[in-house]
Amino acid sequence: MQYGAENIKILEGLDAVRMRPGMYIGTTGSKGMHHLLWEIVDNAIDEAANGYADHVWVTLHTDNSVSVEDNGRGMPVGIHPQKGISAVEVIFTQLHAGGKFDASNYKYSGGLHGVGASVVNALSEWTTVEVYQDYKAYRCEFESRYDETEKKMISGDIKSHLKETGKTHKKGSKVTFKPDTKVFDMARFSFDTINRRLKELAFLNGGLNITLTDERKLDDAGNVTTVDYCYKGGISDYVEYLNSNNEPKFAPPIYLEGEKDNIYCAVAIQYTDSYTTENIFSFVNNIPTTEGGTHETGFKSALTKVMNDYARKSGVLKEKDDNFQGEDFREGITAVLTVKMQNIQFEGQTKTKLGNVEARPAVEAIITERLTAYLEDLKNTSVGELMLEKAVQAAKVRMAAKKAKDIARKKSALEGAPLVGKLSSCTGRKPEENELFIVEGDSAGGTAKQGRDRRFQAILPLRGKPLNVEKKRLDQVIANEEFRSIITALGTSIDTDFDITNLKYHKVIILADADQDGAHIRSILLTFFYRYMKQMITEGHVFIGVPPLYKIEKSSTKEVVYAYSDQERTEACARLGGRTTVSRYKGLGEMSSEQLFETTMDPKTRTLIQVTIEDAVQAEHLVTVLMGDKADVRKQYIIDNANFNKVDLFAKEKGVQ
């Protein structure tokens, strides 16, 4: 079909993007700057997803500009009938101008639907667009500049109109832009962040070649860093990659796909010997839906129904037996679900939960039909039996966990009795204002209790190191006294019984020593929250308290300053001048209650790190590597990432070996 200038529809002009960038990209920090790149990458991927391109190139330049090129159709170069300028210029200067409002141009698309290119241009110092089409090369340039006459910034203005620059055998589009430092300050493009996302996109678009080049990183021979991704197996390869640190129950993964009511759905499924309930990663039009949505609900419903029917047909479930629960079929599952559809709608503004009601019945019907056919094929009998065997074991664990919960309740473990003398609650009755400090050790816990503000701060000391839940079953987790105390204090229960509306403290702050043991305790607690109370993290309730490393006191005036890093210590000593005494804290218990409150607990002066999940797949991978039972994988990760040459500057200055 023809894709010309007349296909570009204009909804409204470009208005004050630079004045309120947060409305369009969320933040003017590093995340917002990367969002610009994702908008241009999405456009290139959409060409591939709709069958017009098979290669995308992303290049990071030394001046923090970036290029995105594809070998698709190329943007329309004709004159737009309404605007009198080229369609390329319309796309980059008019908000809500693009070819994605008409399904005849793009059946499926991600991005901001016509907002992306113009917003990228508006928030860049300069943008250059090259188009390769019909053996001709075209180029136009845009710039953001301050107009002395009008006394205001002119964003994304046309510097040179689109013109033919020569002949070429290439096809496609290339967009190069440099984010404006007036908007993004010191933000720099992160190779690791971009590398992870492009690898994910290569998995989600099987057969697509993606090349990432970083001209800022040179090897010993002076060559730039380049990585290439292409996965012929698509999401099946993705599932195998995700399970590379676990033991799969069968291989290759189950692959199902189909289309219904203009909604395309594909899923790859594989089970491992993991005790974790589920690892389902879902996407719509290549956009991660980390909070799930209607498509995920449809998949889960279909899986439960089909597997229960199969269990009865196989005789695993007798006539009088109750059906297995959905969670029984999802323990140890790793699944990648991808849906492509038109007019996608998200709940909220985070673009992480699909809201289209029509997605659920479509996905449910596709998966029901395809999974039933898969299990009826005699070649797949052994896989079906393994899935049922896994469900039987999961059901036993679920019943054991239920029994453990019941016993715990009878002992009043979930009613608060064991917490007498342990949890020091606050007097405030508004959960949204209250804070719970989970503190390492009774000594530091006692200090924290003395120093806290009792009106809104509660203290829960940990008397020992909790279990690593990554290696334990749910019933074992519930039986652990430390975790029972946390569950009771929070009031939410855990796992499938988790209910965030019962949360008693909207800030849960992990407070541990700044040493190896403290880091291990933080990791164990974060793994617990990630596995059994993930909503606590996704809704922003989990924090890490940052205690100071040094106390610097000026001898003459007794003025005291706290430093949280070696650099801060050096700066503080220089700022105070004269003779100073520097002490390094070995643990929280060394501080007085006043010092602990001032440095680590007082909302006016403390430093908190909010725990977030920016990348669900990366989070899952790291938890499995760092907390799982494969020591060789963990060792390799440490070798690859640890700085073994780091010098303890304080010890060196003190002459300690």
For residue 112, what pLDDT is reported? 44
What pLDDT score was predicted for residue 417? 47
Closest alpha carbon to 334 in 637, 620, 625: 620
Q: Reply yes or no on whether the pLDDT at 104 is more than 60.
A: no
Residue 476 has a pLDDT of 85
Mean pLDDT, all residues of the chain: 87
Q: So what's the pLDDT on residue 410?
A: 57
Render 192-241 in DSSP notation, one character per residue.
Answer: HHHHHHHHHHHHHSTT-EEEEEEEEEE-TTSPEEEEEE--TTTHHHHHHH
**Across 208-214, average pLDDT:** 97
Does residue 116 have a pLDDT over 50? Answer: yes
CATH topology of domain 412-547+608-613: Rossmann fold (3.40.50)
Q: Which helix (H) or strand (E) holds 97?
A: strand 97-98
Q: Which of 282-291, 470-479, 510-519 is most confident?
A: 282-291
More confident residue, 5 or 170: 170
- Find, among 163, 233, 226, 248, the residue nearest to 202 by Cα: 233
- The pLDDT assigned to 323 comes to 94
Residue 25's pLDDT band, with cuts at 50, 70 and 90, is confident
3-state secondary structure of 184: helix
The per-residue pLDDT for range 526-540, each reduced to its tens digit, is 999 998 999 999 899
At residue 158's C-alpha, the angle toward residues 155 and 161, to 5°, is 165
- Apex 129 CA angle, 126 and 132, nearest 5: 165
Burial of 594 (0-12, 13-18, 19+ CB in 10 A): exposed
Amino acid at 295: H
pLDDT band at 444 (very low <50, low <70, confident <90, very high): confident
Backbone angles phi, psi at 269, to 5 degrees: -130, 135
Quick: pLDDT tens for 610-626: 998 877 778 887 888 88
Q: Do the domains 5-229 and 235-402 sit in the same CATH topology, yes or no?
A: no
* Residues 513, 455 contacting (CB under 8 angstroms): no
Contact residues for 226 (Cβ-Cβ < 8 A; gap 6+): 211, 212, 213, 214
**pLDDT for position 470:** 85
pLDDT range class, residue 415, cuts 50, 70, 90 = very low
The per-residue DSSP string of 117-131 comes to: HHHHHHTEEEEEEEE
The whole-number pLDDT of residue 106 equals 53
Residue 181, Cα to own-chain centre: how many angstroms?
25
| Residue 115 pLDDT > 70 | no
As beta bridge partners, residue 425 has none
The answer to whether residue 350 scores a pLDDT higher than 70 is no
pLDDT at position 594: 92
- Would you kindly state where each structural domain of the chain is located, as residue ranges? 5-229, 235-402, 412-547+608-613, 622-657
Q: Distance between CA atoms of 307 and 324, rounded to whole angstroms?
A: 9
Q: Give the Cα-Cα-Cα angle 26, 28, 33 (nearest 5 degrees).
A: 90
CA torsion sign, 242 to 245 to 246 to 251? positive
Q: Which two tokens stand for residue 138?
A: 């075209």
pLDDT at 87 over 80: yes
Q: 257-290: string of b/e by CB count within 10 Å (b at 16+)?
A: ebeeeebbbbbbbbbbebbbbebbbbbbbbbbbb
Helix (H, G, I), strand (E, B) or coil at 33: helix
Sheet holding 224-229, edge to edge: 152-167, 136-147, 124-133, 172-179, 66-70, 55-60, 209-218, 224-229
φ/ψ of residue 128, rounded to 5: -125, 135
Q: Distance between CA atoms of 621 and 243, rounded to whole angstroms?
A: 9
Q: Can you tell me whether residue 626 is helix, strand or coil?
A: helix
Distance CA 269, CA 104 (A): 32
- Helix, strand, or coil here: 16? coil
Residue 59 CA to residue 69 CA, distance in Å, equals 9
Query: For residue 300, how far is the Cα from the chain centroid?
Result: 22
Residue 101 has pLDDT above 50, yes or no: no
Rounded Cα distance, 184 and 208, in Å: 32
Please state, in angstroms and as integers, the Cα–Cα distance from residue 603 to each residue in 427, 434, 457, 606, following that order. Answer: 17, 12, 11, 6
Residue 179 Ramachandran class (φ > 0 left, ψ -120 to 50 alpha, else beta): beta
pLDDT at 88 over 60: yes
The answer to whether 283 and 197 are in contact (CB under 8 A) is: no
Q: What pLDDT, on the 0 to 100 scale, is given for residue 420?
A: 46
Which of the residue ranges 165-174, 212-221, 230-239 would you say has the lowest mean pLDDT?
Answer: 212-221
Cα–Cα distance for residue pair 228/208, rounded to 1 Å: 10
Beta carbons of 611 and 623 less than 8 angstroms apart: no
Query: Which stretch of 48-62, 96-110, 125-139, 357-371 has the lowest confidence by average pLDDT?
Result: 96-110
Higher pLDDT, 128 or 79: 128
Q: How far apart are CA 413 and CA 541, in angstroms?
A: 23
Helix (H) or strand (E) holding 76: none
pLDDT, tens digit, 9 for 90 and up, residues 298-317: 999 999 999 999 999 999 99
Residue 286 host element (H or E):
none
pTM, full prediction: 0.78
Question: So what's the pLDDT on residue 152?
Answer: 78
pLDDT-derived band at 81, boundaries 50, 70, 90 = confident
pLDDT above 50 (res 259) = yes
Q: What are phi and psi of 579, to 5 degrees?
A: -85, 130
pLDDT for 438 = 95
| Band of pLDDT at residue 412, cut at 50, 70 and 90 | very low
For the domain with range 5-229, which CATH number is right: 2.60.40.1180, 3.90.650.10, 3.20.19.10, 3.30.565.10? 3.30.565.10
Q: How far is CA 176 from the centre of its chain?
A: 26
The span from the CA of 511 to the CA of 573, in Å, is: 27
Identify the H or E element spanning 603: none
Three-class secondary structure of residue 539 per DSSP: coil
- Say yes or no to pLDDT of 411 above 60: no
Of the candidates 217, 165, 210, 155, the one whose C-alpha atom is nearest the C-alpha of residue 188 is 217
Which residues, 6 or more positions from 426, have their beta carbon under 8 angstroms from its beta carbon? 434, 435, 452, 454, 455, 456, 457, 458
Least confident of 9-13, 393-397, 459-463: 9-13
pLDDT at 634: 82
State the fold for domain 235-402: Ribosomal Protein S5; domain 2 (3.30.230)
**For residue 413, what pLDDT is reported?**
45
Q: Which long-range contacts (CB under 8 A, 24 or more apart) does 404-409 make?
A: 404/475, 404/478, 404/479, 405/478, 405/497, 408/478, 408/479, 408/484
Q: Which amino acids are annotated catalytic?
A: 440, 513, 515, 517
